[in-house]
Structure 1
């Protein structure tokens, strides 16, 4: 089965609150249920991104450490 399509968004090098602000802005034009994968080097992203998802009704599908930062997979809320 092929991997589900996702938008990749590189936010490495940006500091709080820019990763969340830019993710929120990028997600405005995504269709409900779409996946976005973001990478960030901001150490506060491990707190900020899950909080953003919870507050805006998105589902955090995956969060994992990567070299120098973190990768998050977010599914846009369906309604």
Structure 2
């Protein structure tokens, strides 16, 4: 998938391990306005399933895309409410 949306903010959590990528993503998402898109950059391979699970179980956010780019995992989350 290619990112075809406007990124509002980028959160760099490279070097952080579980559960910090999700904790920091939630905190950053809480600060977004409705419709804003957060790009999360992580080096924790577990963040792929962790952020997907968090977004699926959390109201107010939508996981738009995830990509593995070498050793960096990119996540795109939209604030929906």
Q: Runs in 1 of length 4+ with deviation above 2 angstroms? A: none
TM-score (structure 2 length as normaliser): 0.85
TM-score (structure 1 length as normaliser): 0.87
1:53 has 2:55 as partner: yes
1:73 has 2:76 as partner: yes
TM-fit CA distance, 1:5:
4.1
Task: Name the SS of the counterpart of 1:31 in structure 2.
Answer: coil
Residues matched between the structures, number: 76
CA RMSD of aligned residues (A): 1.3
The correspondence of residues 1-79 of structure 1 with structure 2, limited to 5 A, is: 4-57=6-59, 58-78=61-81
- Runs of 5+ unmatched residues, structure 2: none
